[in-house]
Amino acid sequence: MTRKKALVATALAAAVASTLLGSVSAVADGDGGYGEQERPDHWGVIARNTIGSPVADLRNGPFGSFGVTDSSGRPPYGRGSLGIAVSDQSTSLTPASEKVDFGNEVDFFGDPVQGLQRLGFHVFQTGENVQRGGAENMPNIRFEIDPNLDALPNDNYSTMVWVPDAAPVTNRWSSFIDATTTGYWFLSGNETTCTQAAQCTFAQLKASLNDGGDGATIYTAAVGKGRDHMWIGAVDGLRINDNIYDFEANGVRVRNDDD
């Protein structure tokens, strides 16, 4: 083969490869794929916050339940979601239940707690979960934080926990559940009056951390479940401020309000 023919063949091969890659990308985009959106690789199970052998897995679906044929029968974003499964009487510890956090230990580190303005998610709740633990047997949003309170200078760790109200529907995907206006919040370390026994609104919890000094800062952000009742379901469309985290089987896609 002459040098000229070799160059032509190389160029043709490159063009074919480019066309094929473009086709694959176009197909993915049209079927809930990533396209050119950011795909952060900092999401996953937070090992130190996991107890027992729970599941927190990026998956396709769930689609249904059977007979659900409207839009609530598929994940609100793309084709996938974060599937969560925890058990109750499954460990030798006290309590015996499992716990899991699926989150991000990198991208929110150092952000101000007072900067949190918009939070929530969509949930796939089942009737069986309600039977196992009541209507408010639901997953949580958790932020590990440094409370940074002047009255407790040596206390550098707590977890902000959102406990949702009962899901508005079962056996299908819910609409967006707003964590800033529904359910209740508490601090795991009882640093303020917002404790698990004395539940606070989101605004009250933020106010309790605002003592006039340096503000509280975030360590991690996560969706989690436990330690309490068995729960098997899914979460999608986690909102943190202007970003919506779309859980897909092949990764986490960041969307915004314009998507």
Question: What tens digit of pLDDT does each residue of 13-34 get?
Answer: 444 344 434 433 333 333 444 4
Amino acid residing at 172: R
Q: pLDDT value at position 257? A: 78
Query: What is the spatial distance between Cα 140 and Cα 235, in angstroms, rounded to a whole number?
Result: 10
Amino acid residing at 238: L
Q: What is the mean pLDDT of the chain?
A: 89
pTM of the entire structure? 0.85
- Asked if residue 248 lies in contact with residue 78, where contact means CB atoms within 8 angstroms, the answer is yes
Under 8 Å CB-to-CB from 172, ≥6 apart: which residues? 64, 65, 68, 72, 73, 124
Helix, strand or coil, per DSSP, at residue 9: helix
Query: What is the spatial distance between Cα 56 and Cα 50, in angstroms, rounded to a whole number?
Result: 10
Q: Is the dihedral of CA 221, 145, 242, 231 positive or negative?
A: positive
